Amino acid sequence: MKKYKIAAMVATVIFTFLLPENIFGGGIKIGYNLNDVSGSEAEWEGYTKKQTPGFTLNLFTTNALSENLALQPEIALTLGKGVKYEDDEGHIDISYLMAYVESSILFKYMLLPDGTFSPSLYAGPVIGYQIQPDVWFDNHDNDTELDYKIVNGNPLELGLSVGFETRLKAFVLDFRYFMGFTSFLKEHDPEADYDPEDEVQIEFYGENNNPMEPDIKNNVIMLMLGYDF
């Protein structure tokens, strides 16, 4: 619960202080995500990487900078980030599933700012706070599933969103791609205190079997429908 409160406070402060005075729109979007990962530890020998589905709830305002340019701050709750690794031999599949509270500032170029039909291009930075990192083990040999909380999840995620948005009167269709710049896992801590019944550390090793900082980042394709009040 403490993580949820901190994330909400941080996102609210960022959202509030970055709002220009000349707001001309704002609303809500709900979206479907396809989640994947990239990085040097994203591919595993003996496993096939699969995209996972997720959902997004997004609140936004649109703030005019000029006739064609606007600034669009957003707060979002994104569920289901992660990836699934399917065992090529069909024994144990492994899935990472994470939820984030995210704050983004999108710089938008409106192609037809005054029309009923208004397409736009946008890009901007995203800051996310990881609130629920889990790993699932699906054992096909004995038909069991185990769910553990990840102890060494990286609470802070930085990334970039780019996309295309079109509006028809008050209705919004938004298609975007999120590219993460930071790994969603940290290097495991051998001295960490945790409950192995419910929690786990994800470990990666480099040369000479030395612990290493994981390089595995979230990538997300989003399609959202919204309404501008």
Structural domains in the chain, CATH included, are 2-228 (2.40.160.20)
pLDDT in tens, 55-93: 999 999 988 888 899 999 999 999 999 999 999 999 999
Q: Is the pLDDT of residue 5 over 60?
A: no
pTM of the model: 0.86
Contact 226, 58 (CB under 8 A): yes
176 has which bridge partners? 163, 222
137 has which bridge partners? 94, 146
C-alpha distance across the termini of the chain, in Å? 31
Share of the chain above pLDDT 90, in %: 69
Which residue is listed with tokens 């399917």?
86
DSSP string for 51-66:
-EEEEEEEEEEEEESS
* Mean pLDDT across the chain: 88
